[in-house]
Amino acid sequence: MTRKTTRRAPPSKPLPFDVPPQIDRALRTAAEKVDAVRDETRTVASKVEKTVRAAATSAKRTGETLARDPKRFVEGVVLEARSNLKNVGADVSREAGRLADEVARRVSAVVEPALEKALHRLNVPTQRDLKTLVAKVDALGRKMEQLHAPARKPRSRTRA
């Protein structure tokens, strides 16, 4: 049950002395601002009260559900926790995969050039070098076959 009370400021009486217009305006502006803050405070207080009532009602319902069937309530909480756990597990797995890919990319970027340099220092041919050599050997093999191929016999022409 909400009880609303409103206070009204007593009507202002004229002062027995003259107030300069600048001060009078400043006082009126201040009074208006105080009234605006008061109204805003009431609005906020009303919203807070509604939120607290809703939370209390929800807590009451949860308590009633718990009191009626504690086993079912606990099972519901466990099911919700499992569902959240699956979501978190999927998120963690996705992030772990992304991190593993990133680490593999960085390691490859560092290791491959170092490995190439080491193999070059040891005078070990690279895959590209081997392909080039195989192509050259094949070309030489074809040239040798052409050189050693049996010469063609010229056809003899028969006169008719």
pLDDT tens, position by position, 52-111? 999 999 989 888 888 888 888 888 888 888 888 888 888 899 999 999 999 999 988 988
Q: In terms of domains, do 45 and 94 share one?
A: no
In a domain, residue 150? The reply is no
Query: What pLDDT was estimated at residue 151?
Result: 61
Tally the domains of the chain: 2
Q: Between the CA of residue 20 and those of 15, 26, 58, 72, what are the distances in Å?
A: 12, 10, 57, 74
In a domain, residue 158? The reply is no
**Is 15's pLDDT higher than 70?**
no
Answering whether pTM is above 0.85, one says: no
Separation CA 33–CA 104 (nearest Å): 64
In a domain, residue 43? The reply is yes
Q: In terms of domains, do 89 and 60 share one?
A: no
Domain that holds residue 126: 85-145
Q: In terms of domains, do 64 and 89 share one?
A: no
